[in-house]
């Protein structure tokens, strides 16, 4: 009983005395001890216990146990948001003077961490283009501790070669951390390709219904012990309620990811044939420059499709304005289809040259394809392209 769909459903925290079938919500900030000796030994970490919900909670335990097993990791730590997971990873593992090598195309707030927050503590980051394997090797210095990457990347959907980068990391004795938010463990398990750390924003597909924020770090015992030492005392804890919601969400993650991917592939193919569209990016289209690599690393292509609309910034904005069903919102991985235009929103502060470096052209539209009926999704896209 170790297949991923079964793990997602059957990993449960211990039943309470009520013998419930579905795990209840444990809204408690602290836990009682049997006596002074029990209290002493739990604080000394000689016997396991929850102590206080900034450290541990049965709902949080269940959520992180599921993800740990699904990613094939040894241990994990849950956080209140995806960014708390990214930050806790660096704060727990690095010290002043350490260096990070990262693929250039990373989530906006991660970019801010690299360029504005971590430098305050003397931690520097060097960016490398997604496909420049030699560049990754060249950027590594004696003080480099972590190589960081996102694949598929947002919003250009670059596919990075996990195995090749993991080998570079092993040769240089540095940790390889992968933000696996776009794929989830259903589509891609970076640890199987040699990554050391997997990071998630559970806010996206893991919740998948646009309700709660959450994050997770999955790795080996040693790495998680260091992250735990930081997080227990700095407080990025996931709330029990959000953990309970997320843990339930995981039960349907495989079904949702398959349908997201199925719908997205159909939309990507139809867009490719449309004459208002310049080009389409989707990992499982044969026209994707890294299609073979995507097929090696991922079981399906995921729910995000990016395409270049003819007519640049204005055409991109008009397309968004003409959509009737799609939501215009700063989220992705929802049951509801979502459209964004990065050049006029999330990436508007970058110069055109900087945007080009991360593959964001003026007419690039990012669609997060939801779980509505495929024909309704296409009808909306098509009428917005024509109007």
Ligand X SMILES: *Cc1c(COP(=O)(O)O)cnc(C)c1O
Residues that bind ligand X (CB under 6 A): 81-83, 107, 109, 150, 154, 179, 181, 201, 203-204, 213, 215
Min dist. Cβ of residue 219 to ligand X (A): 17
Is residue 346 exposed (0-12), middle (13-18) or buried (19+ Cβ within 10 Å)? middle
Strand partners, 124: 99
At residue 6, φ and ψ (nearest 5 deg) are -70, -40
Min dist. Cβ of residue 244 to ligand X (A): 17
Kindly tell me which of 60 and 385 has the beta carbon lying closer to ligand X. 60
SS3 of 158-222: the string is CCCCHHHHHHHHHHCCCEEEEECCCCHHHHCCHHHHCCCEEEEECCCCCCCCCCCCCEEEEECHH
Kindly tell me which of 206 and 285 has the beta carbon lying closer to ligand X. 206
Kindly tell me which of 109 and 126 has the beta carbon lying closer to ligand X. 109
Contact of 138 with 149, CB cutoff 8 Å? no
Kindly tell me which of 113 and 309 has the beta carbon lying closer to ligand X. 113
Q: Which residue is nearest to ligand X (CB)?
A: 82
Min dist. Cβ of residue 330 to ligand X (A): 9
Kindly tell me which of 174 and 213 has the beta carbon lying closer to ligand X. 213
Min dist. Cβ of residue 200 to ligand X (A): 8
Query: Is omega for the bond preceding 33 within 30 degrees of 0, making it cis?
Result: no
Kindly tell me which of 42 and 290 has the beta carbon lying closer to ligand X. 290
Kindly tell me the sign of the dihedral angle through the C-alpha atoms of 87, 91, 96, 101: negative
Min dist. Cβ of residue 250 to ligand X (A): 16
Is residue 219 exposed (0-12), middle (13-18) or buried (19+ Cβ within 10 Å)? buried
Kindly tell me which of 342 and 385 has the beta carbon lying closer to ligand X. 342
Min dist. Cβ of residue 109 to ligand X (A): 6
Kindly tell me which of 76 and 380 has the beta carbon lying closer to ligand X. 76
Q: Where are the alpha helices (DSSP H) in the chain?
A: 4-10, 36-43, 58-71, 82-93, 108-112, 133-139, 162-171, 184-187, 221-234, 240-250, 253-272, 291-297, 312-322, 352-357, 374-386
Kindly tell me which of 107 and 300 has the beta carbon lying closer to ligand X. 107
The CA distance from 4 to 257, in Å, is 13
Min dist. Cβ of residue 210 to ligand X (A): 12
The CA distance from 339 to 6, in Å, is 33
Kindly tell me which of 201 and 247 has the beta carbon lying closer to ligand X. 201
Kindly tell me the sign of the dihedral angle through the C-alpha atoms of 66, 69, 72, 75: positive
**Greatest Cα pair distance in the chain:** 74
By DSSP bridging, strand 197-201 and strand 175-179 are parallel
Min dist. Cβ of residue 159 to ligand X (A): 14
Is residue 17 exposed (0-12), middle (13-18) or buried (19+ Cβ within 10 Å)? exposed
Min dist. Cβ of residue 129 to ligand X (A): 18
CA–CA–CA angle 319, 320, 324 (5° rounding): 100
**197: its two tokens:** 């750390």
Min dist. Cβ of residue 315 to ligand X (A): 25
């Amino acid at each position: 009983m170790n297949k991923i769909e079964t793990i997602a459903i059957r990993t449960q925290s211990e039943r309470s005395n009520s013998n419930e079938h579905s795990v209840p919500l444990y809204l408690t900030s602290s836990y009682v001890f049997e006596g002074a000796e029990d209290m002493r030994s739990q604080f000394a970490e000689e016997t396991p216990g929850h102590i206080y919900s900034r450290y541990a909670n049965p709902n949080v335990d269940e959520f992180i146990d599921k993800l740990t097993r699904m990613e094939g990791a040894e241990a994990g730590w849950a956080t209140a948001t995806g960014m708390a997971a990214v930050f806790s990873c660096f704060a727990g593992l690095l010290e002043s003077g350490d260096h990070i090598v990262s693929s250039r195309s990373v989530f906006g707030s991660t970019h801010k961490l690299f360029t504005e927050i971590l430098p305050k503590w003397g931690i520097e980051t060097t960016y490398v283009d997604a496909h420049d394997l030699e560049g990754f090797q060249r950027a590594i210095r004696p003080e480099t501790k972590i190589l960081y990457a996102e694949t598929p990347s947002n919003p250009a959907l670059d596919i990075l070669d996990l195995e090749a980068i993991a080998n570079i990391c092993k040769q240089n004795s540095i940790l390889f951390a992968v933000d696996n938010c776009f794929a989830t463990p259903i589509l891609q398990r970076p640890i199987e390709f040699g990554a050391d750390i997997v990071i998630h924003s559970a806010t996206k597909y893991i919740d998948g219904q646009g309700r709660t924020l959450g994050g997770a770090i999955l790795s080996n015992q040693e790495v998680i012990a260091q992250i735990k030492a930081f997080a227990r005392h700095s407080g990025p804890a996931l709330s029990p309620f959000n953990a309970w919601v997320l843990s339930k969400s995981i039960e349907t993650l495989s079904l949702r990811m398959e349908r997201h991917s199925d719908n997205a592939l159909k939309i990507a193919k139809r867009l490719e044939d449309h004459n208002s569209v310049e080009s389409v990016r989707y990992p499982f289209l044969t026209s994707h420059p890294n299609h073979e690599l995507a097929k090696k690393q991922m079981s399906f292509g995921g729910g995000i499709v990016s395409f270049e609309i003819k007519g640049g910034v204005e055409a991109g904005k008009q397309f968004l304005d003409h959509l009737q069903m799609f939501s215009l919102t700063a989220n992705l991985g929802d049951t509801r289809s979502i459209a964004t235009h990065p050049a006029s929103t999330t990436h508007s502060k970058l110069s055109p040259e900087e945007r080009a470096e991360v593959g964001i052209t003026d007419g690039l539209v990012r669609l997060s394809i939801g779980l509505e009926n495929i024909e309704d999704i296409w009808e909306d896209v098509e009428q917005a392209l024509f109007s």
